[in-house]
Structure 1
């Protein structure tokens, strides 16, 4: 007898989210995974957690709750007439951890995980998710509209920001590698 898992469970099998959490973003980079998880798995989000590492060892964890004063930020930026970079990040001291998804027809990669220290790019890795589960932010957490006025956060733990990250530089790197 073969049991089939629901699509939502299949899409997050590589995620670093717990059984009581839902996956809001997942980026696979070889052995490492970056996951954005929300708890509880239904109702108003009481904790939003970023985890980076492997199933065996989480190397970095950052959690925002209504009581701990931590938060995540979101922004969307048009980088091409047919490509928009949607972003969610958090700052830990002077280091910014940035998750992105690219939507539109001129995307050089579906998503990236970047680490920035000031204006220096410390890490810029392309997500290598399967085509069936591209790196994308859950639309019940944040909505990125085609117009700025359509964009909004659906959680008090994720604040809409009006500041841009250097996404043109982060995505241009991959474009240059391919010789475009």
Structure 2
């Protein structure tokens, strides 16, 4: 359940094991170091030892932001697809290059949190948003939305909404702790 604060809303890889590759050694070590699970105990794309920073179903597919490891081996990774077939992971390996970033903006009676990354000419953005829709006797009447949009050269080319937006929240506290701040992206 989302909590409305006074200033803002708390919007709320396959690891390979091989002794021949240092990145794979790090990945194997990470699997042995569980992190505190995120808000959801079960995840379609994040491993049980990973923290779920964001996850939602998009029909037949799922999008998730998963964090794992600790200390120097901490990582955050975007995943899209199904548990049986990931279609996109960014970075491709948990310790690979590629930076995800968080951003947020307040709205009257709500706000939006995002996690995004650039992949060539494309920008991928997962978001959770709360907008106040009621101002009368009935109170706030918040409307929740969450999903994924993809932009190419700054223009939105794909938009997918979460099947249960009220349950899909960006864990903004975890995002702020683990990721650098980035530019807020507007879905045109």
TM over 0.5: yes
TM-score by length of structure 2 reads 0.65
Q: Distance in 2 between matches of 1:48 and 1:55?
A: 18
C-alpha distance in 2 between matches for 1:73 and 1:103: 20
> Which of 105, 129, 136 is matched with 1:77 structurally?
105
Deviations 1:3-39 (A, max 9, x none): xxxxx68935343012321211002111110010001
1:33 aligns to 2:62 (yes or no): yes
| Contact 1:27–1:113 (CA under 8 A) maintained in structure 2 | no
Give secondary structure in 2 for the equivalent of 1:154: helix
Which 4+ stretches in 1 moved above 3 angstroms?
A: 42-45, 64-69, 106-109
For structure 1, the residue ranges without an aligned partner over 5 or more in a row are: 1-7, 143-152, 170-180
The superposition leaves residues 35-93 of structure 1 with CA deviations (integer Å, 9 ceiling, x where unpaired) of 100012x6677111111001111000013889644211111123x42231111101111
Provide the aligned length of Structure 1 versus Structure 2.
Answer: 144
TM-score by length of 1: 0.68
The answer to which structure has the higher strand fraction is: 1
User: Hey, what's the Cα distance between the residues in 2 that align with 1:27 and 1:66?
Assistant: 20
- The more displaced of 60-69 and 117-126 is 60-69
Q: Which residue number corresponds to residue 18 of structure 1?
A: 47
> In 1, Cα distance between the equivalents of 2:94 and 2:64?
20
- Residue matched to 1:160: 181
Alignment gaps of 5+ in structure 2: 1-36, 134-141
- Whichever of the two has the greater Rg, that structure is 2
Tell me the C-alpha RMSD between the 2 structures.
Answer: 2.8
